[in-house]
Amino acid sequence: DAKTTQPPSMDCAEGRAANLPCNHSTISGNEYVYWYRQIHSQGPQYIIHGLKNNETNEMASLIITEDRKSSTLILPHATLRDTAVYYCIVRVRHQGGSEKLVFGKGTKLTVNP
């Protein structure tokens, strides 16, 4: 079962920052937070991940609260092409192998002109 809770939908104006929240109140100390998005019917696209520190890359920033029970994905200047379903996933650290991803229902972000 997915260990995250996200709002089903959000809207954002083009050019503004999009802040997508995610609750993961049962997260354990060895579990990472991952963000993916799915545009139309394409394959999920990896965005960013983190353990406890804030992270930034060319696509987005990830802010994780100090207690790690929630996080926010920030798209600093949203464009129409950022319209997609965004998935927040908690991933267990597993020694010796790679864990599957457990997707929830995600947040449908619509960027409006």
Partner 1 sequence: GEEVAQTPKHLVRGEGQKAKLYCAPIKGHSYVFWYQQVLKNEFKFLISFQNENVFDETGMPKERFSAKCLPNSPCSLEIQATKLEDSAVYFCASSQSGGVNQPQHFGDGTRLSIL
Q: Residues 52-81: x/- map of binding to partner 1 (CB under 8 A)?
A: ------------------------------
> Taking CA 106 as the corner, what is the angle to CA 45 and CA 23, rounded to the nearest 5 degrees?
115
**CB count, 10 Å around CB of 108?**
16
Site for partner 1 in 9-48 (CB under 8 A): 31-32, 34, 41-46
Interaction between residue 49 and partner 1 (CB under 8 A): yes
Stretch that binds partner 1, among 9-17, 19-27, 57-65, 97-105 (CB under 8 A): 97-105
Instruction: Record the tokens describing residue 54, joined without a space.
Output: 């804030």
Q: Whats the size of the chain, residue-wise?
A: 113
